[in-house]
Structures are given as C-alpha cells and as structure tokens.
C-alpha cells in the first residue's frame, strides 16, 4: 500500500494527481496549474479516490488522476 502526495489543479475542473511518495512527480504537475494538496495515507478516505484504480494507474503511468468531489474550492 502506498502513501500518496496529492497535487490539485488550480482550475475549476477538480482534478487531482496522486503520486506515491516513492515515485517521481510527473513533469506536468510542476506547471502553474497545479499546487501541492497534501498527503494521503493508506487508511484515510478521500471522496473520489479509488484505491484499486490508483494501483492500476500507478502501475501503468506512475501516478493516478481522479476527480475530487471536495466541497472546498481550489486555492489560487
């Protein structure tokens, strides 16, 4: 099981990129449209985050993109 670093889109699209702590952060996340959104431990629930899909995404891409259903607007 992974602990993930979360990177949130600063746009209104609600996208979140979850990257396992031991993996490199993808280059597109370093752009101005993304900001660090905290850390997600293996036992914490996060609405919109699917652990099985995350494992598959990480296996093929090194990260997992998903839509967050958080009620908090993105910080700009």
**Which pLDDT band, with edges at 50, 70 and 90, does 38 fall under?**
very high
Instruction: Report yes or no on 74 lying in a domain.
Output: no
Is 73 inside a domain boundary?
A: no
Q: CATH code at 25?
A: 3.10.510
Judge whether 24 lies within some domain.
yes
- Structural domain tally of the chain? 1
Range of the domain at 32: 4-67
User: Is 49 inside a domain boundary?
Assistant: yes
In a domain, 58, yes or no: yes
Residue 48, phi-psi category: left (phi > 0), alpha (psi -120 to 50), beta (remainder): left
Judge whether 36 lies within some domain: yes
- Of 28 and 75, the structure prediction assigns the larger pLDDT to 28
pLDDT in tens, 7-17: 999 988 889 99
Taking Cα atoms as reference points, which of 16, 20, 42 lies closest to residue 29?
A: 16
Reported pTM? 0.84
Give pLDDT, residue 14: 87
Whose tokens are 């009620």? That residue is: 71
Residue 23 lies in a domain: yes
* Mean model confidence pLDDT for the chain: 87
């Amino acid at each position: 099981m992974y602990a993930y670093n979360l990177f949130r889109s600063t746009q209104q699209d609600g996208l979140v990129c979850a990257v396992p702590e031991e993996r490199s952060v993808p280059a597109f996340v370093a752009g101005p449209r993304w900001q660090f959104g905290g850390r997600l431990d293996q036992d914490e629930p996060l609405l919109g985050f699917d652990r099985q899909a995350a494992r598959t995404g990480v296996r093929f891409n090194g990260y997992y993109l998903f839509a967050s259903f958080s009620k908090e607007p993105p910080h700009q």
